[in-house]
Amino acid sequence: LSYVADENGFQVQGSHVPTPPPVPKELVDAYAKAASQPQSHDEPEYAQPAQGHGYSAY
């Protein structure tokens, strides 16, 4: 077990340190397909602010 602290932060290194499972091939393929698609910005990425002050006028 060894410890490293550098510009990337604190890291523990060793053969018995748990590692995440590999990313499934289906996800890798889906990410690649999504990255190759042109992005559409037809709709705003935020909600329009509500009109008024949050109450209904009677």
- Give a yes or no: residue 18 inside a domain: yes
- Give a yes or no: residue 56 inside a domain: no
pLDDT score of 33: 95
pLDDT score of 8: 84
Residue-wise pLDDT for 46-55, tens only, equals 766 666 666 6
Higher pLDDT, 26 or 42: 26
pLDDT score of 53: 64
Residue-wise pLDDT for 8-29, tens only, equals 899 888 888 888 899 999 999 9
- Give a yes or no: residue 15 inside a domain: yes
| Structural domain harbouring 27 | 4-33
- Give a yes or no: residue 40 inside a domain: no
- Give a yes or no: residue 57 inside a domain: no
- What does the DSSP 8-state code read for residue 2? E
